[in-house]
Amino acid sequence: MDDELFLEQIECGPMQNFVYAVGSRAAREVALVDPAWNVSGIVDHVREQGFEPVCALVTHYHPDHIGGRMMGQTIEGLSELLELKGMKIYANRHEASGVQKVTGVSESDLEMVDSGDVVKIGNVEIEFLHTPGHTPGSQCFRVRNSLVSGDTLFIQGCGRVDLPGSDPDEMYQSLRKLAALPDETVLYPGHDYGGGPHRTMAETKRMNAYLRIPTLEMWRELMGT
Ligand SMILES: [Zn+2]
């Protein structure tokens, strides 16, 4: 069964972002997770391997993940992808307005999803997990025993919670939820911020102090909130 799953990690841009192509070797189709920085290069790269991108999945609305203006520069992302090929963009319901504002894509391009919803590529099911905290509609993607986590969880840290739209208490609950996933789950983060490109949750729990904070009170103390 697992022979069908295709999952490739592609590092893009000066902020060590990880873009992912996730899909089916049988159907030769992939979803692109957070396509940004070099969109035509990403599309060419998956097509060279015989895969066709059929949809885009958004972890959250920050421009280094989906394109837009950030720190005085314009980053390629979803709007450039839609110019290359029309496709649905899956974003959490609470992130949809932010995605539209940052990238200029329209509401009709978006498929708003809730936690527990699933999209299928061939026979590969991708489940959406709402993990607010870094942003209100941050989400992770669970595919068999892999978890693509965006900026919610890194191998040695978690996403910032001091930005507009961040919520430290929600981040704590989201991290508890991810810490409860099976130990053999393989974590694929949204940036290469050290600790390796991917790790099992068992390894991550050993390497990441943010996953080991026992109470919300201790978390608030650590976050200074
Ligand atoms: Zn972010």
Structure tokens at 125: 């099911």
- Across the range 67-83, mean pLDDT stands at 96
Q: Is the pLDDT of residue 181 over 90?
A: yes
SS3 27: coil
Q: How far is the CA of 62 from the centre of ligand 1 (A)?
A: 5
What is the CA(151)–ligand 1 centre distance, in A?
5
pLDDT tens per residue, range 5-40: 999 999 999 999 999 999 999 999 999 999 999 999
Say yes or no to pLDDT of 129 above 90.
Answer: yes
Q: Which pLDDT score is estimated for 224? A: 86
Mean pLDDT value of segment 105-130 = 98
3 Cα: distance to centroid of ligand 1 (angstroms)? 32
Sheet containing 199-200: give its strands across: 118-121, 124-130, 139-143, 146-148, 186-188, 199-200
Residue spans of the domains in the chain: they are 5-223
Query: Residues with beta carbon < 5 A to ion ligand 1?
Result: 62, 151
Greatest Cα-to-Cα distance within the chain, rounded to the nearest angstrom: 50
Tell me, in angstroms, the distance from the centre of ligand 1 to residue 123's CA.
Answer: 30
Q: How far apart are CA 49 and CA 47, in angstroms?
A: 5
The reported pLDDT for the residue numbered 2 is: 65
The stretch 57-83 carries a mean pLDDT of 97
Which pLDDT belongs to residue 225? 81
pLDDT of residue 143: 98
SS (H, E, C) 5-21: EEEEEEEECCCCEEEEE
What kind of fold does domain 5-223 have according to CATH? Metallo-beta-lactamase; Chain A (3.60.15)
Helix (H, G, I), strand (E, B) or coil at 110: strand
Mean pLDDT of 51-74: 97
| pLDDT at residue 93 tops 80 | yes
Strand partners, 120: 125
Indicate the burial class of 183 (C-beta count within 10 angstroms; 0-12, 13-18, 19 or more).
Answer: exposed
What does the pLDDT average to over 191-199? Answer: 96
The Å distance, Cα 46 to ligand 1 centre, comes to 24
Mean pLDDT in residue range 98-116: 97
- Average pLDDT on 119-146 reads 98
pLDDT given at position 39: 98
